[in-house]
Structure 1
Amino acid sequence: MKTSVYCTTRTLEQTEAIVDDLKRAGFGSDEISALLPDQRGTRDFAHEHNTKAPEGATAGGVAGLGVGAAVGWLAGAGALAIPGLGPLIAAGPILAALSGAALGTTAGGIIGALVGMGVPEFEAKRFDGKLRQGGMLISVHAQDANQRNAAKAIFEQHNADDITSGAEAHALAR
């Protein structure tokens, strides 16, 4: 059964280390997603990005995002401005979900996108709260139980918080 494994992290260094280990374990950039606060000032955010506005989001290239190589390696890394939550950096398949219709709302944008990806609503609310407190979210697409267990082990090795997994929503399942 195709599942996604999720965790939250407290620092960019912790996020980078987890992404590095996931890469070493054989997960591809299209299987790993990261969502983290954009720590640059809003003035920098407004001036450094090439602006595109799909569904109320501001997206930019990976150059100048201020993240390390591991997160920058992920597919489609870019920046999003989410009403009620502020600027975020999103990378991997989660970027597509967040750039979709869920961003048309205000504070529920993250929750709606995560629920749409198959995250139970109570977990999505917890992840939203962690992001609001400056935390980071990592998601890994797992093809089978071995990959799911490998991702969980990497999260545990790096003392990640809120480790959970769930069946992927049909729309995102491969």
Structure 2
Amino acid sequence: MAQQTITRLYDTYDEAKKVVSALEEAGIPHSRISLIGNEHRDHAVHDGTTSDKAEGAEKGAGTGASIGTVVGGGAGLLAGIGALAIPGVGPVVAAGWLVATLTGAGVGAAVGGGAGGLVGSLTGAGVPENDAHVYAEGVRRGGNLVSVQADDAQAPVVQGILDTHRGVDTVARRAEYESGGWTGHDVAAGPYTRPVAGSDRL
């Protein structure tokens, strides 16, 4: 049976968590779900991660950071979330199959430059390159990515769940980024700094 990768970007970590929970409740194995969340930079730590883990990932963002248990445990995907740093994105919390493709290794390995960063991992999994650039930049700017590997039978269920929640319109978000001079995600980009209130958003 053919497999496809279905991915959505969410502006809030809470919305992404709800999506993951709904997917698991619908019977999608957590081994087929990934979550990469960047909202922990500005908010309290979620789901058992600690501020020490987030700080450790941030310190290692340029050179790589060690991952905790990030592939997911028996209690569901969110129970296995851990902190790591992605080149061109910075420190995130993450769990699931996409983490292994980003690091090129399993749990407990060190994150290095990665083969093409988040864009390369997403396109390697079948996500269109234009969308992958928006997803990676969205995570860099504080967004939260949910990506699911689904077979043909599961795909309609997965798409329905992802679309029921308030996901980002990638076409509109790309236009928004481009209006600020963005041309594509840069794996060498530094950490994103939110503009001061009253200034241009991008």
> Shared topology, TM-score over 0.5?
yes
Q: 1:124-165: per-residue Cα shift (whole Å, max 9, x none)?
A: 101011112211110111111x311111111121122248xx
Look up the match of 2:113.
Answer: 104
| Higher CA-based Rg | 2
What are the superposed Cα offsets for residues 100-124 of structure 1, whole Å, 9 maximum, x if unpaired? Answer: 2895269x51112212222221111
Q: CA deviation at 1:45?
A: 3.4
Q: Secondary structure at the match of 1:161?
A: coil
Tell me, in whole angstroms, the C-alpha distance in 1 between the residues paired with 2:82 and 2:164. Answer: 27
1:143 counterpart residue number? 151
Q: Which has the higher strand share?
A: 1
Runs of 5+ consecutive residues of structure 2 not aligned to the other structure: 43-50, 58-62, 106-110, 171-202
Cα contact 1:5–1:140 (8 A) shared by 2:
yes
Q: How does 1:79-118 map to 2 (within 5 A)?
A: 79-100=83-104, 103-104=112-113, 108-118=116-126
Aligned counterparts, 1:1-174, within 5 A? 1-37=2-38, 39-40=40-41, 44-45=52-53, 56-61=64-69, 71-73=77-79, 77-100=81-104, 103-104=112-113, 108-144=116-152, 146-162=153-169
Count of aligned residue pairs for this structure pair: 150
What secondary structure sits across from 2:83 in the alignment?
Answer: strand
Deviations 1:15-68, CA, capped at 9 Å, x for gaps: 111111101110111011111116258x7337668xxxxx93421246xxxxxx
* Distance in 1 separating the partners of 2:18 and 2:40: 18
Q: Percent identity?
A: 37
Q: TM-score of the superposition, structure 2-length normalised?
A: 0.63
RMSD after superposition: 3.3
Q: Higher relative contact order at CA 8 Å, sep ≥6: structure 1 or structure 2?
A: 1
For structure 1, the residue ranges without an aligned partner over 5 or more in a row are: 50-54, 63-68, 164-174
Q: Give per-residue Cα distances to partners, 1:51-93, cap 9 Å, x unaligned.
A: xxxx93421246xxxxxx86523xx532211233211111110
Contact 1:37 1:131 in 2 (8 A): yes
